[in-house]
Amino acid sequence: MIESPTILVIEDDPAVRTGIVDTLEYGGYRTLEASDGHSGMDLALKANYRLLLLDIVMPGPSGFEILAALKKSRPGQAVIMLSARGEEQDRVRGLVNGADDYVVKPFSMKELLARVDAVLRRTHERHSSLPSLHILGAVIDFNESRIIFSDGSLTDLSEKENSLLRYLTDANGRIVTRSEILRQVWNLDPERIETRTIDMHMAHLRAKLGEKIAAFIITERGKGYRFIQPERDR
């Protein structure tokens, strides 16, 4: 069976947080949780998850501050705001600043699950809007599946090499596990297959990128891969 999506819950009220986590796990989701803005900010920026359920008012950084940080580092991240404050200006602020939905407390767990399912469906195919990546004078053209080097030479990428590189760059610096790559790039169930195809494609991709550009792809031993975002060429 394919691994269920992981949902991060940042909520300072222990009773509410426990209720949400229990409901999500009963619904078949995997969960991570944080009880304040400090630990929440750390997990939100570094952890591997599909959806964030984010309280607004809590100790440490507020939900709006965490949302702002996510918009910079993980602009495609799916977020549902949770708040007892149902004022229109708060709902508008959350949605304008990148949240996918806004749920006002108190809410039924049945409603929350429905909102979670809806947001995950809407954002499942979400990709970076960038058609290309500029790095060390080279241009990686994702639409054309090719690399244009600074000397004008061209190298074509295979469909899977292109998809793999794009998925890594879309992750905005977070560690992407081998299981996630198999699920999202190859559409394979990592629990039912043992394959070295990722290693093979990664070796071919690094060779095509060249040593200097390939150095931006970091192998995190025992975890997966991480792409270091370069400063954009001016």
Burial 189-218 (b: 16+ CB within 10 A, else e): ebeeeeeeebeebbeebbebbeeebeebbe
Q: What is the pTM of this model?
A: 0.56
Residue in the block written with tokens 């995997």 = 30
The separation between CA 62 and the C-alpha centre of its own chain, rounded to angstroms, equals 20
The per-residue pLDDT for range 15-36, each reduced to its tens digit, is 999 999 999 998 888 899 999 9
Pairing relation of β-strands 138-141 and 132-135?
antiparallel
Q: How far apart are CA 201 and CA 175, in angstroms?
A: 18
Q: Which range has the worst mean pLDDT, 123-132, 133-142, 164-173? A: 123-132
Cis check: omega of the bond before 75, within 30 degrees of 0:
no
Pairing relation of β-strands 101-104 and 146-148?
unpaired
Q: Residue 78, class by beta-carbon neighbours within 10 Å (0-12 exposed, 13-18 middle, 19+ buried)? A: buried
Are residues 6 and 31 in contact, defined by beta-carbon separation less than 8 angstroms? Answer: yes
Percent of the chain with pLDDT over 90: 45
Domains and CATH numbers, the chain: 6-123 (3.40.50.2300), 132-227 (1.10.10.10)
Structure-block tokens of residue 221: 């031993």
What is the dihedral sign for C-alpha 44, 219, 125, 166?
Answer: positive
pLDDT (mean) for 114-139: 76
